[in-house]
Amino acid sequence: MLAWYQFLSAANKMLLPKIYRKPNLEKLSGFEKAIVGWKMWVTYRRLDAEKVRQVADADTRAKATQRK
């Protein structure tokens, strides 16, 4: 899953406009709000996937240490 969200994040950076450069984010159009929402969703999912992977890696290392 992490690879998928990394891909989506990279695609967002290349393809979607940078809305944070707008002077007033409160006056975004509906389409721009959708873009912001999509980017936030992808970012949060990627961060969650990275956290899950880190926890799994730590568990694997802990089990390997216990076996020795």
pLDDT digits (tens, 9 = 90+) for 3-62: 999 999 999 999 998 887 778 888 999 999 999 999 999 999 999 999 999 999 999 999
SS3 per-residue string spanning 26-38: HHCCHHHHHHHHH
Q: pTM of whole model > 0.85? A: no
pLDDT of residue 68: 65
Question: CA-to-CA distance for 38 and 56, rounded, in angstroms?
Answer: 27
pLDDT digits (tens, 9 = 90+) for 44-53: 999 999 999 9
pLDDT of residue 24: 84
- Closest among 39, 36, 52, 38 to 1, alpha carbons compared: 52
